[in-house]
Structure 1
Amino acid sequence: MKFSKATNYALHTMVYLADIPKGTSIGVDRLAETQKLSPTYLSKILTKLVKSGLIESTPGAKGGYRLARKADNITFLDVIRAIEGQTVLFYCSIDHDDDFSRNEECLIENAMIEAEEKMKESLDRKYIVDIAKLMRSQKNL
């Protein structure tokens, strides 16, 4: 199973934003620098996060990005859906009108959907704030 690099960068960005002081924001250049990305590429990811309501942008010289809601209310699944959308990871390649699968559902697809649902449930229990706290505690060691 593979998510896009954009999801990777979005998750790291969200954890970084969860760790900044409340009421402050971070510019795209600084966010891009932390992950060694081009600001243009990261801006596209940030736009998706803004549209999904996970972060907000503030204009002006001291503007930037910050979380739009509390980090303990943002799950990994929220971020993944903002970047990847709601598409399923597996589609059955067998035409259901042939002799092999006539009048039956694709059993392989059913197994894959079940696994995907379990993964979604797990990701929906992983909060951005938990990773931010772990990172903070590792810095203090």
Structure 2
Amino acid sequence: MLKEWRHRRAVQRVKSGDGRQLKRFRWWQMLTRALFHLRLTDDAGRQMVYAVDVRHQNQSEGYVKAHLYLDGRHHAESKVPAVFPVQGGTVDVRTSAFGLKRCHYVTAEGAEHQLVPDPASAEGRRAHLDRAHPALSRWIGSSRRSCSSSAWFS
């Protein structure tokens, strides 16, 4: 019941967008911006591309905003945690102190799918490294976990 109430409140926070164009991801934004994509097909067979843009450094108001773009145009925005209604379900966005915690497409039936990170973003580069060099990616992941739990940082 509490989960449903939080979901309804997050949907109510969504404001309509102003139609501005999505700016492309730049290399210097890797630590301050997250950009994810979702491709869906509507009932008429038309393909739609949704993009979720989260800028972590814009916390002057004390909160992080997520922006939803539809086919490259600003469609909606909301404070995080955000739940954006889209074709056939919702896009669920949550942040943590270190970046995005969750960016999933949840269908009306309840199935969840992760959104695809932009190839130029930090998340996209890590996903590419994982596909191209899985052993190196696992080694980096395990060394980061062992460093964070070591006595050096105590």
* TM-score normalised by L of structure 1: 0.24
The structure whose Rg is larger is 1
Higher relative contact order (CA 8 A, sep 6+): 1
More strand per residue = 2
More helix per residue = 1
